[in-house]
Structure 1
Amino acid sequence: MKQIEIFEITSPCVGVCQSGPKGFCLGCYRTRDERLHWIKLEEDVQSKIVKACGIRKKRAQQNTKRRKTVENISPQLNLLDTPPPQK
């Protein structure tokens, strides 16, 4: 059964419009094709894209958080490889 949307689904665009390393927009997390064809898509497809964008954004934020953690730990791990100072 197809759900009827009461309100028009607005574009998730936030005006950043730059592609990231995986091809998703760094602002709204849509693919190039999703951005290009947004106006022509049916509302149920737009709704699915908005949900997918939320998931993509969450994953990107988690990956950024992991990268920062690794960057903070890496210098500490390098200290373990250095020999103790000679007396």
Structure 2
Amino acid sequence: MEQLEFFSVPSPCVGVCTVDNKGYCQGCMRKREERFNWLAFTPAQQRHIIKLCKQRYYRKRLAQRGEIPIQQIEEDELPPQGSLF
């Protein structure tokens, strides 16, 4: 059962609409499908996409600083969070 949403989830778009070599928007770090279908996603899916965008951004920043090799950066490679209950 999905929780009722009273407020829409704002788009993470920052107006920098260029794509990097992996296909992610350099402004918001969304994939093409995530950008084009944003309004079709449920609020829960939109929040999940924003979470993925943050993970992509931090991995990209770490790679730029040389803290992790660029070859190790893969989509959604972080382990899922375990149950809190």
Q: TM-score, normalised by structure 2?
A: 0.72
| Equivalent in the alignment of 1:30 | 30
| Equivalent in the alignment of 1:83 | none
Number of aligned residue pairs: 67
Runs of 4+ in 1 over 6 A off after TM superposition: none
Matched AA of 2:40? K
**Distance in 2 between residues matched to 1:49 and 1:5, nearest whole Å:** 16
| Equivalent in the alignment of 2:53 | 53
**Distance in 2 between residues matched to 1:24 and 1:33, nearest whole Å:** 10
* Residue 6 of structure 1: how far off its partner (Å): 3.8
Matched AA of 2:27? G
Unaligned runs of 5+ in 2: 68-85
* Residue 17 of structure 1: how far off its partner (Å): 0.7
**Distance in 2 between residues matched to 1:5 and 1:63, nearest whole Å:** 36
Matched AA of 2:51? K
| Equivalent in the alignment of 2:7 | 7
Unaligned runs of 5+ in 1: 68-87
Aligned to 1:25, the other structure's residue is in SS state coil
* Residue 2 of structure 1: how far off its partner (Å): 2.9
Q: CA RMSD in A?
A: 1.4
Matched AA of 1:17? C
* Residue 21 of structure 1: how far off its partner (Å): 1.1
Aligned to 1:7, the other structure's residue is in SS state coil
